[in-house]
Chain A
Amino acid sequence: MPLDAVFADIERYYTTKVTRHGPTPLGVDWASAPTQELRFVQLLKVCDFSRSVSLNDIGCGYGALLGFLDQRAPGKVDYLGVDLSPLMIAEARRMWTGHARCAFAIGKTPPRVADYCVASGIFNVKLSQPTDRWASLVRAVLHDMHASSRLGFAVNFLTPLDTGVAGAPQLYRPAPDVWRDYCERTFGASVEVLASYGMREYTLLVRPH
């Protein structure tokens, strides 16, 4: 199956979610707003908000991160949200109509280079894809994020389960060193792993040397 077909599956999955739950945390597969925002806290550690920045949000959903940025770094971010689901983007545009310095685009790659790229939870649900095909998708997305960020990017992954524990087969849980090493080696980047924020996941902050 080519990667485009995998992206099409993902699009259908999230469109179904937002159709069922609307523009809410459940509509983007998160349990609640606080858990969603605790992930944002970690991802945004890649950003230096001491000055205005531009930010691409990959898999932006209905743009929840924009609302969070309004609280954490008001007026400092030129925001672009990108999502595969046209319905999700329609909800985002409706929700954020009139918001300054924000735009939304349908697709898998951002149409601009920004200071930073972040992606929350987009690698977690691999649906029925075999792990090696999903890893190809992760690689492709990381390359896109690297190419479209000047100062760094951040992504998160689910923590692997303990040996012998069977998890949901549709979830992707790579060990932290897999993609940390990949980013260091391939992009010549410095990678920080954040893992002690109470959740069953970790965040990679990838910065150019």
Chain B
Amino acid sequence: MGMFMKEHDVYVGSLQEMLNLRFAPTSGSAEQHGGLNEMVALQKEFEIFRAGRSFDTSIAALNLSGMHNPETKSRFHRYLNSLRKVKSNVGAKSGDAAMVDAIIANLAAKKPLPVYFELHDLNASKDGNRVLITAKGRPLFYMKQDYMIISLPLALDDSKPKAKPKAK
């Protein structure tokens, strides 16, 4: 997110955590629900993720873009919006469309998986500037839990700071 979030980069981790908690495995006994079960029910009832609707719009409806800092929220939305112009590892789909389609299919599946959002350095490889979807994986070594993994491209904001006005 770097160049989008700039001095709000410190919030990237908490935004990522909000996404991961929203799509987390349901914890506790089956009667507890919550987590992924809740997302499945919300999707079934309201079709929150829909083909043609951006990921950004659905995330806004779920209040997952930060609650207290409007500037952080606005920068995060600009970043998510930019994923419409980014490629993906799913055919010719844009990063945004690939994410939305994958989430729709997953939430409608007989055994939907929790979704884990991770970040990768878009400059680390020549085709790094893509959204990467992994249908099934174990992103957390400390959990025996399969996830669908969505990896978002991110780069260091290495733009030069604005020059200070010269003293007269």
Contacts and interface: CB of A to CB of B under 8 A. Distances in A.
A148 B101 CA distance: 47
**A interface majority secondary structure:** loop
B32 A34 contact: no
A38 B64 CA distance: 17
Given A34-B42, A34-B46, A162-B28, A200 B33 contact: yes
A3 interface: no
Contacts of B41: 38, 197-199
B128 interface: no
Contacts of B31: 159, 195
B46 A200 contact: no
Contact of A34 (B37, B40, B48): B48
Nearest to A33: B61
Contacts of B46: 34, 37-38
Contact of A38 (B34, B45, B61, B63): B45
Interface in B44-80: 45-46, 48, 61-64, 67
B63 A198 contact: no
**Residue among A26, A34, A37, A196 with the most chain B CB within 10 A?**
A34
Nearest to A20: B68
Contacts of A197: 33, 41
B32 A162 contact: yes
Given A159-B33, A199-B33, A200-B33, A165 B42 contact: no
B159 interface: no
Nearest to A201: B33
B95 to A, nearest CB: 23
A32 interface: yes
Given A26-B67, A198-B37, A41 B45 contact: yes
A31 B40 CA distance: 16
A161 B33 CA distance: 11
A26 B67 CA distance: 9
B32 A26 contact: no
B60 to A, nearest CB: 9
B28 A165 contact: yes
B121 interface: no
Given A198-B40, A198-B41, A34 B33 contact: no
Given A26-B63, A41-B45, A199 B28 contact: no
Contacts of A162: 28-29, 32
**Residue among A25, A33, A198, A199 with the most chain B CB within 10 A?**
A198
A161 B67 contact: no
A198 B61 contact: no
A35 interface: yes
Contacts of A198: 33-34, 37-42
Interface of B: 28-29, 31-34, 37-42, 45-46, 48, 61-64, 67
Which 7 pairs, one residue from A and one from B, show the smallest C-beta to C-beta distance? A198-B41, A32-B63, A200-B34, A198-B37, A198-B38, A162-B28, A34-B42
18 contacts: A26-B63, A26-B67, A34-B45, A34-B48, A35-B42, A38-B42, A159-B32, A159-B33, A162-B28, A196-B33, A197-B41, A198-B33, A198-B38, A198-B39, A198-B40, A199-B34, A199-B38, A200-B32
